[in-house]
Amino acid sequence: MRTMRSTRVVAAAFLLLGSAAVPRSFAQIPAAAESAAARGDTIVADSAIATMLRRNPTSPATRLQVGRWYRRHPFAQLRARGDHYFREAARLAREQGNRALEVEAEYELGRSAWIRWEQFSHRYRLFGDVTSIDPLRTLNDWRYVENFFREYAFPDSTGLGESEYVAAEEHARAALTLAPGHLGATRLLATLLGDKARWEEMEAPARAAIRAFRRAPDGYRILALAAARRGRDSEAAALFDSALARMDSVQRWPYENLSVLLRRAGAARYDSLNPAQRAELRQLYWAVAQPLALDSVNRALVEFYARTTYVDLRWTAPEEEVNGWETDRGLTYIRYGPPDLWASFAPLPFGAELESNEESMPLRGGQVTTVWAYRRSHARFIFQNQRGYTNARYASEFPMFAREIHEASPVSFDNVPGLATMDTVLAQLAQFRGDRGGTTLAVFGFVPVGRMFGGVELQWVPIEVAAFVKDARMRDVARRVAVQTVALGDGGQLATQTWRFELFPSEQYLLRLEARQQAAERSARAIMGLDLRRFGPGPLALSDLVVADRVAPRDSAPRRWTDFLIDPSVGRIRRGEPVAFLWELYNLSADSAGVGRYRVELAIYARSLERRGFGARIIGGVADAVGLSARGDSIATIGFEREAPVRGRTAIPEYLQVELGDAPEGTYGVSLTVTDLVSGQQATTRRQFVVTTTPEDVPRRPQD
C-alpha cells in the first residue's frame, strides 16, 4: 500500500517537472503533495523532485517549475524553498545566456517577496493589554472601530517587512530591465506601486508594456488606473476603452459583470439575461449611475474600471488559482472602493480563539487579520488569511454581515472626487396639456447654492445649471444648459431655474437636473423617472397643481398657465406666509350658450402636526368667489363656483392664494376637486407642502 501511494506522488512530481505549462495547469499537484505529507509521505515527493533535479542539473526551466511547486506547498517551511530554486534558475539562465528564463526567475523572486510583504502591508501595532480587535463589538457598533484605533492601535513605524517590499520591487525592475514591457513584471511592479499610492511612477512601466505588446490590454489598463487615481478621468476613460478593445471575453468579463453591483434579486435577473440583454442593461445602468451628465466622461464607470483593475492586479494569485475579483476583499473593494481605514495585525497565537468566552466571535489564531472601515457609510469588515497566502476571507460572522450590507447598499462611489459632497437639486414637476397633442412638463428647479458654496469666500459665483430628458435608451431628447451668475448669501439661499418640455406620454423618459461649478468642484443633481399623463379629449381633467409662493396673471385675460408670473415654491412655507396654487381645467362641458360652469373645492388638511386648528381665507385670485368657507378643526375647505366661455379654448387656467394664519408646523396635503356643473363629472388632483418656523428649513432666493 505504501508503494502505491509513493508511486502516485512520484508520478505527480515527474508530471510537474516535465511540463512547461503555466502553474494553473498543476492544480492537482499541491493537493497530491499535501495528501502525501499528511500520511507521512512528504519525503517521497521531495525525493522525486531531487531525482528530477539530478537528471536535469543545468536546467533553469526545471528549477523554475520546482520553485513554483514549493511556493504552492501547504506547509510554510517548505514554501520557503521556492526562492532557493528561483535563485538557482536565475543563475543558470544567466550563465547560459538564456535571458527569457532569467526574466522569469527574477519575476518569480519578486512575486514571492510580494506575497511575504502582503502580510505586512498596512501593518498596525497594538499597545496596552489588548491582543486583538473584537469582531462582535465591530459588528454591533461602528463607533467601536474608531475608538479602538484611537485608543489601542497605531501604524507600525518600525519598517517591519519593508525589506520584502524593497526586494519585490528590485526583482520586478530587474526583470523589466532584461525585458522591457514584460507583462508579469509590469503587473507586479504596478501592484507594488499601487500599494503605496505611487501612481505617477506607474506610468513609465505601463507605457513600456504598451510599446512592447500593443495588442495586450495590460499596459493600457494599468496606465488608465494611474490616470484615474491622479484625477485625469477623461484620459483614463479613453485608455480603459483601448484596454477593453484588446481583451477577449474572459478578460473582459469582470469589467462587464454588473451583477457584482446589484442586490441579490437584481443579480439573479441579470445573470438570467442573454448577452444582448445584459449589454443593454449595462448601458442603462451606467447612464443612470453617471454622476453628472454635464461631464464629458462617466466618472462612476471610470471608477468601477479602476477598482476592477486594482483588484485584479493586487489579489489575483496564480499560485492559489484565484482571481482578485473573486476574493472577499476584491468584491468589497469593487463595491465600495478604497477603505478609509485599512489596517492589518500580526497573527494571533494558534489556539488563541479557544480562550474567548461563548458570547464572542473569536478570530482564528495563526492568521493575519485585516480591518477595513468606511467612515461615511459606517460599513466595516474584518478579513483573515494564512501567512504566505494572499487570499483573505471574511472573518467570524462577517460573511453574513457583508451580505446584509450589500443588500442595503450594493455599491458606493463616495470616493469619486466631488461625488461624496454632491448636493441635491430640489424640484417641483407639473404636467399640463401640450399644444401639439402631447404633454407639457414644467420643471421648477431649485439649486441649493447656499449649502453648495458654504465656506467659499466669494460674492459672485458662475454656475452651470442644466436639465436633460433622456429616452429609454438614455439618448438625449432634450438638453438645456445655461450659466447663472449667483450672488452668494446665507446657507438657505436658492438659485431657481424653470424649464418646459414637450413630451409624448407613450414614451419612457428619465429627467436629470444638474448644477456644477467646476473650479470649486461643487455640484448638485436630481434624477427621476417620468410617468407622463395623457390630456386628450374625453372626460373632465385637471393639470397638476402648482404650489407657489406667489402667482399673478400677466394680463387681464390669461388663457394658459404660461400667461402667469409664477414664483414657484420648493415645498416649504414659512409659518404665517401665504401659499399660492395654479392649475388648468380640460374638457369642460358647455351649455347651449357655449359657457361652462364648474365648482372648485380646495381642501387643505393636516398630515402631521405639532398642534391642530387654524383658519384660512382667500386673499387673491378669486375675487368673485361664492360660498367661501373655512370649517373643521384640522381641515380648511375653500369652495367657489365659476363660469367661463369654453368654445375655442383648450384649457381654462385658475389660481388662488391662501393665507394660512397661525397654521402650526407640519406637513399638509392639498386636494383640489373640480365638478363640471353641466355634465356632473369630477376631477381631482393633489399636492403637499410643509409649514415650518425654522428659518434654515426654508431655502430662500437672493431677493428674499
What does the alpha-carbon distance between residue 523 and residue 464 come to, in Å, rounded to a whole number? 9
Domain holding 510: CATH number? 2.60.40.10
Does 168 map to a domain?
A: yes
pTM for the predicted model, two decimal places: 0.85
Does 273 map to a domain?
A: no
What does the alpha-carbon distance between residue 266 and residue 284 come to, in Å, rounded to a whole number? 14
Domain check: are 523 and 551 in the same one? no
Q: Which residue has the cell 407639457?
A: 440
- The pLDDT value recorded for residue 42 is 61
- Dig out the grid coordinates for 298 from the structure: 462617466
The whole-angstrom distance between residue 552's C-alpha and the CA centroid of its chain comes to 44
Q: How many CA within 13 A on the CB side of residue 15?
A: 15
What does the alpha-carbon distance between residue 515 and residue 292 come to, in Å, rounded to a whole number? 9
Are the CB atoms for 302 and 228 separated by under 8 Å? yes
For the chain (704 residues), the mean pLDDT of every run of 10, in chain order, is 38 36 34 49 71 88 90 79 95 97 98 94 92 92 94 93 97 97 97 97 97 96 97 96 97 96 95 95 93 94 98 92 94 97 89 52 86 95 89 93 94 85 93 92 93 79 94 93 84 86 93 91 92 93 96 92 94 88 96 94 80 48 40 66 91 92 84 96 95 63 47
- Dig out the grid coordinates for 365 from the structure: 489564531
Q: Which of 181, 126, 118, 119 is nearest to 156 (CA)?
A: 126
Domain check: are 645 and 689 in the same one? yes
Domain holding 680: CATH number? 2.60.40.3880
Does 83 map to a domain?
A: yes
Where would I find the beta strands (DSSP E) of 531-594?
Answer: 541-542, 546-553, 564-568, 572-574, 579-586
Domain check: are 641 and 697 in the same one? yes
- Dig out the grid coordinates for 334 from the structure: 469593487
Structural domain ending residue among the three candidates 512, 533, 554: 533
Does 194 map to a domain?
A: no
Give the CA-trace dihedral at 607, 610, 611, 615, to 10 degrees.
-60
φ, ψ dihedrals at 78, nearest 5° = -90, -30
Residue 169 CB contacts under 8 Å (≥ 6 apart), including other chains: 110, 189, 192
Domain check: are 622 and 502 in the same one? no
Structural domain ending residue among the three candidates 501, 533, 565: 533
Domain check: are 672 and 703 in the same one? yes
Considering only the C-alpha atoms of the chain, give the largest distance between any 2 of them, rounded to a whole number of Å. Answer: 115
Residue 180 CB contacts under 8 Å (≥ 6 apart), including other chains: 208, 211, 212
Does 517 map to a domain?
A: yes
What does the alpha-carbon distance between residue 54 and residue 270 come to, in Å, rounded to a whole number? 55
Buried b (16+ CB within 10 A) or exposed e, 416-450: bebbeebbebbbbebbbbbeeebbbbbbbbbbbbb
What DSSP assignment string belongs to 449-485? HHHHTTT---SEEEEEEEEEEE-TT--EEEEEEEEEE
Domain check: are 574 and 512 in the same one? no
Domain check: are 607 and 697 in the same one? yes
Number of domains present in the structure of the chain: 3
- Dig out the grid coordinates for 610 from the structure: 405639532
What does the alpha-carbon distance between residue 88 and residue 93 come to, in Å, rounded to a whole number? 8
Domain holding 1: CATH number? 1.25.40
Burial class of residue 633, CB neighbours in 10 A (0-12, 13-18, 19+): exposed
In three-state form (DSSP H/G/I as H, E/B as E, the rest C), the secondary structure along 149-195 is HHHCEEECCCCCCHHHHHHHHHHHHHHHHHCCCCHHHHHHHHHHHHH
Domain check: are 480 and 549 in the same one? no
Sign of CA dihedral 342, 344, 345, 347: positive
How many Cβ atoms are within 10 Å of 269's Cβ, its own excluded? 14
Does 491 map to a domain?
A: yes
Does 106 map to a domain?
A: yes
Domain check: are 548 and 501 in the same one? no
What does the alpha-carbon distance between residue 466 and residue 515 come to, in Å, rounded to a whole number? 6
- Dig out the grid coordinates for 284 from the structure: 442603462
Structural domain ending residue among the three candidates 138, 154, 179: 179
Domain check: are 562 and 524 in the same one? no
Domain check: are 638 and 692 in the same one? yes
Q: Which residue has the cell 380640460?
A: 586
Domain check: are 501 and 574 in the same one? no
Range of the domain at 72: 1-122+163-179
- The pLDDT value recorded for residue 362 is 76
User: Residue 543 carries which DSSP code?
Assistant: -
- The pLDDT value recorded for residue 519 is 82
Which residues lie across from 14 on neighbouring strands? none
What DSSP assignment string belongs to 235-291? HHHHHHHHHHHT--HHHHHHHH-GGGGS-HHHHHHHHHS-HHHHHHHHHHHHHHH-S
Q: Which of 687, 670, 688 is nearest to 544 (CA)?
A: 687
- Whole-number Cα distances in Å, 9 to 5, 64, 654: 6, 19, 91
Does 146 map to a domain?
A: no
- Dig out the grid coordinates for 589 from the structure: 362641458
φ, ψ dihedrals at 452, nearest 5° = -60, -40
